[in-house]
Amino acid sequence: MSVTFSALVAPIAFVNVCADGEERIPVRHETYPQARAALPAHTQTCGQEDCAVYGVYPHPVYPEGTPEEVNVSNANARYLLGLLGLDTEDLCGTLPGADLARLVLRALNRGFDDTGMGASAPLREAGRAQFIDCGRPAGYGRARLEELQQLALWASTNDKEITWG
Ligand SMILES: [Zn+2]
């Protein structure tokens, strides 16, 4: 489970990327339904077994210059949202880029304990999924906040919102 912070930017096209991440058929479709309609033709022509077995899905194409998303685990999202003074229960939300930039700057300037925490022993109960907490390295908070700052500053400059969930 993870949380992705990204700029709310409308895709300019959709492309069907092979299951292994390669873009073998670089046909750009105007809309998501058009890209979905082209999926059967994709699996017949690309020749990749993975596409037939695992499926192919349309990927959005964003305008050039759109910044990379920031993806973190749920636990780390809760930690970062807490540093920003935002709600840590729902792990989803939207803010104007300028507002998020202000919150990030305030958190970086205020400072916080960024010494990290060690991994805990795997937790497993019979018949249930195993939970593994990998901990958090020292400096993690500042590094992720700096990534969020780049994203928020771009959104602020381009009058966009940042969404996470
Ligand atoms: Zn394919």
pLDDT digits (tens, 9 = 90+) for 100-146: 999 999 999 999 999 988 887 777 888 888 877 788 899 999 999 99
Query: From the CA of 29, how far away is ligand 1's center (Å)?
Result: 15
Query: From the CA of 35, how far away is ligand 1's center (Å)?
Result: 13
Query: From the CA of 28, how far away is ligand 1's center (Å)?
Result: 14
Token pair of 101 as six digits: 């930039």
Per-residue pLDDT 10s for the chain (165 aa) are: 899 999 999 999 999 999 988 888 889 999 999 999 999 999 889 988 999 898 888 999 999 999 989 999 999 999 999 999 999 999 999 999 999 999 999 999 999 999 988 887 777 888 888 877 788 899 999 999 999 999 999 999 999 999 999
CA–CA gap between residue 7 and residue 76 (Å, rounded): 19
Q: Are residues 80 and 115 in the same domain?
A: yes
Q: Are residues 154 and 81 in the same domain?
A: yes
Per-residue pLDDT at 1: 83
Query: From the CA of 67, how far away is ligand 1's center (Å)?
Result: 26
CA–CA gap between residue 152 and residue 150 (Å, rounded): 6
Per-residue pLDDT at 23: 87
Q: Are residues 134 and 102 in the same domain?
A: yes
Query: From the CA of 50, how far away is ligand 1's center (Å)?
Result: 7
Residue 1 lies in a domain: no
Query: From the CA of 14, how far away is ligand 1's center (Å)?
Result: 14
Q: Are residues 97 and 20 in the same domain?
A: no
- Domain of 129? 67-164
Q: Are 74 and 3 in contact (CB under 8 A)?
A: yes
Q: Please give all residues whose CB falls under 5 A of ion ligand 1, grouped by chain where several chains appear.
A: 18, 46, 48, 51
Instruction: For Cα atoms 56, 33, 31, give the angle at the middle one, nearest 5 degrees.
Output: 105
Work out how many domains the chain is built from and give that number: 2
Q: Are residues 111 and 52 in the same domain?
A: no
Q: For the chain, how far is it from start to end, CA to CA, in angstroms?
A: 10
Query: From the CA of 129, how far away is ligand 1's center (Å)?
Result: 32
